[in-house]
Amino acid sequence: MRDFICWSIALFALTSASCGSNNTSLYPVVGKVTYRGEPAVGATVFFYRQGADPLNEHTIMGIVQADGSFELVCGSLGKGAPAGDYDVAIEWKHFSGQGKGQPQRSADKLGGRYSNPNRARIHVTLKPQKNELTPIDLEK
């Protein structure tokens, strides 16, 4: 019985730490990131909910594809993100031989100008519907 209670509490804690609460719906989010008009292929786009504790949130992120597009994924919960206000951070690492579509581990091509969510240059409001974001064109 004691093990059951411990497992129940652990399961509740894990399901409560999310892109919101258990009852929060995820909405599709797509966008495009370019650098001086060219697709920022391989850049990683992170969304940080304003006012949330990042230690209790799933990572909300997308990886820029060959055409410049990205789609957000909310940790293990799946595609999309909850509605709300977000600070956006972008890192664009040099290719390091990792698998296709995976974040790169090396120096940021953008010199860290867009990677700190505490000094975010990009802010987005997601609505409780499919969200197609305004294209983001980065400058160095």
Residue 106: CATH number of its domain? 2.60.40.10
Residues 96-114: tens digit of each pLDDT = 555 555 555 678 889 899 9
> How many folded domains does the chain comprise?
1
Nearest to 62 by CA among 4, 124, 20: 124
pLDDT score recorded for residue 11: 37
On whether the pTM is more than 0.75, the answer is: yes
Other C-beta atoms closer than 10 Å to the C-beta of 82 total 23
Residue 75: pLDDT band (50, 70, 90) is: confident
pLDDT of residue 79: 96
pLDDT value at 23 more than 60: no
Q: Is 20 in contact with 27 (CB distance < 8 Å)? A: no
Containing H/E element for 83?
none
- Separation CA 37–CA 17 (nearest Å): 37
- Residue 6, amino acid: C
Residue, of 13 and 43, whose pLDDT is higher: 43
Residue range(s) defining the domain that contains residue 82: 2-138
pLDDT of residue 107: 86
